[in-house]
Structure 1
Amino acid sequence: MGCAERAGINLGADGISVIEVTGKDNLMISDVLFRTLGVPCYMVFDGDAGTEERKRQSTAHLLPEQRQDKELKYERDARRTREKNADLLRYLGSPPIPQPSDESTARYTVFEDNLETYFSQHWLAWDLRRRDLVALG
């Protein structure tokens, strides 16, 4: 929505609503419900490729036993995320790739990791401004 506003596009005036469904688990059911009601849908979701590694880095300060427990949980979470990615892509009529690359089709957009990672790699001004805002508190 922020990108549309910045570009001077009023999504609401064009009959477009952005609806956050809070997680991959809710994407398919929301899509089915809206499409059943005749509402066309377009999905945007993260592949979360870097999430496990970021979580692992956050455990560096823990004792080895605590770190091991956390890392096992992160591995299970990452495995489940890959399964959800494949399920979503299969539902959308695409090959069920567990760890998709950045891709945009007529039906969906998926970011390999997440939107923030994509922006920091492909829109340098965004990342610089984000860093400035973080530095300002």
Structure 2
Amino acid sequence: MLSEAMTALAAAGGTAVVQAAGTDAWQTVRARAARLLGRGGEEPTRVAVEQLDRVAARLEGDGTPETEASRIGMAFGALLTGLDEAARREAAAELRELIALTEDRAGDRIDFSGTFHGPVLGKGTQRISYGEAPRR
């Protein structure tokens, strides 16, 4: 059985992977998560890549982020549970690095939500800035 800290780490890893889906960071996060879940084995890593791709596809479809994060978090939890103490510490460090990678990239993304109905009329220039506002 995992400690509370390891369970929380696994859940945070699932959330981090889901947050990266659909962003520029996805390929890097996907590769690292698959390598971690596959523990370096060629076939297990390939299977993990396929599973992560299915997660991303579900998120683009009707999958909910909470469900997919839970699914990946459970996979990380199962991985950590099956390791001896030394390997668990190593995997936990890798998982923390994966989480940090997505946190570092969080400023690169802006989430929008809502629905717009109707035509857009007008002319001119629209400027959209990401990150800090330009200085004038």
Higher helix fraction (1 or 2)? 2
TM-score of the aligned structures, taking structure 1 as reference length: 0.30
Higher strand fraction (1 or 2)? 1
TM-score of the aligned structures, taking structure 2 as reference length: 0.30
- Where relative contact order (Cα < 8 A, 6+ residues apart) is larger, the structure is 2
